Chains A and B, each alone.
Chain A
Amino acid sequence: MPDIDALKAEAKRILSEGMVDMVIGFKAGDTPLHPQPAFFKTPDEVDQLVYNALCQNNLATYLTRFPKNQKIGMVVRGCESRSVNALVFEGQHPKDGLYLIGVPCEGIIDWRKIVEQTGEEVFSIFEQSNNTVLVESKSGFFTLEKETLLHESCSRCIHPNPISANVVIGELLPEGDPALAREKVAAFASLSMEERHAWFRQEAERCIRCYACREACPMCYCEECFVDHITPRWTESGTTPAGMQGWHIVRAFHQTGRCTSCGACERACPMDIKMTYLTEKLNEDMRRKYNFEVGLDATTPPPFSTVTLDDKSRFVI
């Protein structure tokens, strides 16, 4: 856990020195389970800044909302920093208009896994140094193993440390094992085509098309999403199997070489739909076929964002 006072001090410094117009971070929510994204414009407001393992959003999703001439500070974890890099590459904000305060991330906790054990009325949550979380709820005190509470995307995270941050607050953590991400992909890929299709159908079937996954994703910033396009219509509009499957498959494919595996889509989904099994496969393909991982810098173009004269497929040129 980074020192919250050091984090606040840096956020205050960049605001008071006029280096940024705003710092995007988190503030306490109405319950300890739900910290909220927050936008601090003055050093005084930064007193409200919190950072803990319950901060579940990828803050980079807000970046595209602000004018490009606005100087923005942001508290970034590994995944957020890679999303920012990908957005900078895509021209969504100039790199020199950003000040990234990096925090090494020990993983995001799924609040649902806490309330399953402690009940709904949670008064406080303390992350303790021995990888346990002390929760005080109406039903009493609970000591929970942090590892068991993490989101799946965080359990298999490869790059917990912020990349390209202007400053890092806290000790860097060891890199994750890429084999863990591969394991998940391999397990899914080893199923028969019928089984994979059944899995896909079963997940997509629950979709209510609220687009929380889209809005939570930093890389989904299209002014007009393909599902909202009317002439021509690219996919069925409703919650028919064709409509839901169309949405999920195209959403995933649009992320090829752009998804940073942050898992914000799954965390936002009100229907607990698993989505990263699709994007992880695409990310794995990018690694294997093109030796590419998105967001490691802001200059390497994703393979599908480039065209060269010696391209194997001639159809594009």
Chain B
Amino acid sequence: MNLILKKDHLKHLLNAWRQDYEVYAPQSLQNFTHFLPLQDGFELAFDKAHNTRIPPKALFLPTSEALLKFTRFGGYEEVPSETAPRLIFGIHPCDAHAMTMLDTVFEQERYTDPLWKARREATVVVGLGCDEPCKTGFCTTVGSGPFNHAGLDAILTDLGEIFLVEILTDKGEYLFTQLETASEDQSMQASEVQQAAKASMPIAFETEGLKQKLDQNFASPYWEEVSRSCLGCGVCTFLCPTCFCFDIVDEAQRGERVRNWDTCMFRTYSLEASGHNPRPSRVERTRQRLSHKYSYWLDQINQIGCTGCGRCVRYCPVGLDIRAMLRKAHQLPSEVLHA
């Protein structure tokens, strides 16, 4: 069922939601946008052409968080998992889609992360489709799209004075009870906007057979070539909505066991206690990053581990573009693997 949300009614609705939820929406922070909790007198900052600088995965997996607290003289207490109801408003489909992939990591049958799970269950997600898809994005290439529904409870399409609201789950339906139903014309109009957005996005690289190329060329000089200018910083992975690696550190002075974001691009990531490092240089680290997304995720969940949000392309300090790297990978020779 499709509903109509008048734009001049939006603030009122967000404020009404604030009675029941902590509402997160994109707001300006310095020169970019960020998902922040709405306070009285809030100003939304919908930057339609871009995503928020930090992906909303940070609302579920914070850059740093304490897992438990301990004292010097023994004993510890777990940090209670956060369960207050939350609503994320205005998330772009690539970021919401990414969250469903991270669910497969943090909510595995045998190993479930209680903090992640509690936050996911307590959160309703309302998306804003991208009628002006960003130029660094390539969601349609990797199986997502500017109006993809994965991970969303409802999705909005901008139709000028109004948003067309598509309800996708019961959680979503509960949010929009007071709105009038969209006419057939309005639904048609939204569908046209969605199709046009999708059609405006070129296919950035060929995904068919890409995994095989990466696997077959594990030892190729290609990796040295594409990683040569890499600085080895964490920009691409920290700003990535599907990267989830973390490191657990005991902050003894504060008495906290902390989980911090970590990245395969760091030297220390795979450094072992013996001093051996199985990924000793940027060559192996770059291979890990690309292969994880475009090969290993496929082995695990049969999906590419990238939703094409384009942050890594836009913010790489040396202008490395994963799309160009993968176009090049696709041209690598297919070799017969020896058993």
Residues of A within 8 A of B (CB): 29-31, 33-39, 56-57, 61-62, 112, 119-121, 206, 208-212, 214-216, 228, 233, 236-240, 243, 267-268, 270-272
A-B CB contact pairs (8 Å), 5 listed: A208-B54, A236-B253, A239-B63, A268-B231, A268-B233
Q: Which of A35, A38, A39, A236 has the most CB of B within 10 A?
A: A236
Q: Does B136 contact A (CB under 8 A)?
A: yes
Chain B: CB-nearest residue to A120: B135
Chain A: CB-nearest residue to B311: A270
A30–B321 contact, CB under 8 A?
Answer: yes
A238–B31 contact, CB under 8 A?
Answer: no
What residues on B are CB-neighbors of A211 within 8 Å? Answer: 233-234, 266
> What separation, in Å, do the CA atoms of A194 and B16 have in the docked complex?
38
What residues on B are CB-neighbors of A240 within 8 Å? Answer: 64
What residues on A are CB-neighbors of B64 within 8 Å? Answer: 237-240, 243
Which of B2-10, B162-170, B254-262, B301-309 lies at the binding interface? B254-262
> What separation, in Å, do the CA atoms of A112 and B64 have in the docked complex?
28
Q: What are the 5 closest A-B residue pairs judged by CB atoms, nearest first?
A: A238-B64, A34-B319, A210-B234, A268-B317, A215-B231
| B311-331 interface bits toward A, Cβ cutoff 8 Å, 1 = contact, 0 = none | 001011111110110000000
> What separation, in Å, do the CA atoms of A14 and B31 have in the docked complex?
43
Contact among A36, A206, A237, A243 with B229 in the assembled complex (CB-CB below 8 Å): A36
A271–B53 contact, CB under 8 A?
Answer: yes
Number of chain B interface residues as a range: 35 or more
A239–B49 contact, CB under 8 A?
Answer: no
Q: Does B29 contact A (CB under 8 A)?
A: yes
A29–B319 contact, CB under 8 A?
Answer: yes
A30–B323 contact, CB under 8 A?
Answer: yes
> What separation, in Å, do the CA atoms of A59 and B134 have in the docked complex?
30
Contact of A228 with B53 at beta-carbon distance under 8 Å, contacts A210-B238, A237-B260 already known: no
A215–B232 contact, CB under 8 A?
Answer: yes
A209–B63 contact, CB under 8 A?
Answer: yes
What residues on A are CB-neighbors of B228 within 8 Å? Answer: 39
What residues on B are CB-neighbors of A216 within 8 Å? Answer: 231, 233, 317
Chain B: CB-nearest residue to A269: B317
A115 to chain B, nearest CB (A): 9
What residues on A are CB-neighbors of B238 within 8 Å? Answer: 208, 210, 270
What residues on B are CB-neighbors of A233 within 8 Å? Answer: 252
Q: Does B218 contact A (CB under 8 A)?
A: no
Q: Does B30 contact A (CB under 8 A)?
A: yes
Contact of A270 with B53 at beta-carbon distance under 8 Å, contacts A30-B323, A208-B238, A215-B232 already known: yes
Q: Does B122 contact A (CB under 8 A)?
A: no
A117 to chain B, nearest CB (A): 13
Q: Does B32 contact A (CB under 8 A)?
A: yes
> What separation, in Å, do the CA atoms of A120 and B54 have in the docked complex?
19
Q: Does B196 contact A (CB under 8 A)?
A: no
Q: Does B249 contact A (CB under 8 A)?
A: yes
B35 to chain A, nearest CB (A): 14
| B109-133 interface bits toward A, Cβ cutoff 8 Å, 1 = contact, 0 = none | 0000000000000000000000000
What residues on A are CB-neighbors of B247 within 8 Å? Answer: 237
> What separation, in Å, do the CA atoms of A209 and B254 have in the docked complex?
19
B236 to chain A, nearest CB (A): 9
Contact of A236 with B317 at beta-carbon distance under 8 Å, contacts A120-B136, A243-B64 already known: no
> What separation, in Å, do the CA atoms of A192 and B268 have in the docked complex?
39
What residues on B are CB-neighbors of A33 within 8 Å? Answer: 319
What residues on B are CB-neighbors of A236 within 8 Å? Answer: 251, 253-254
Contact of A208 with B63 at beta-carbon distance under 8 Å, contacts A120-B134, A237-B249, A272-B32 already known: yes
What residues on A are CB-neighbors of B315 within 8 Å? Answer: 270
Q: Which of A57, A237, A243 has the most CB of B within 10 A?
A: A237
B319–A238 contact, CB under 8 A?
Answer: no
B29–A206 contact, CB under 8 A?
Answer: yes
B260–A212 contact, CB under 8 A?
Answer: no
Chain A: CB-nearest residue to B228: A39
A270 to chain B, nearest CB (A): 5
B324 to chain A, nearest CB (A): 5
B30–A272 contact, CB under 8 A?
Answer: yes
What residues on A are CB-neighbors of B267 within 8 Å? Answer: 228
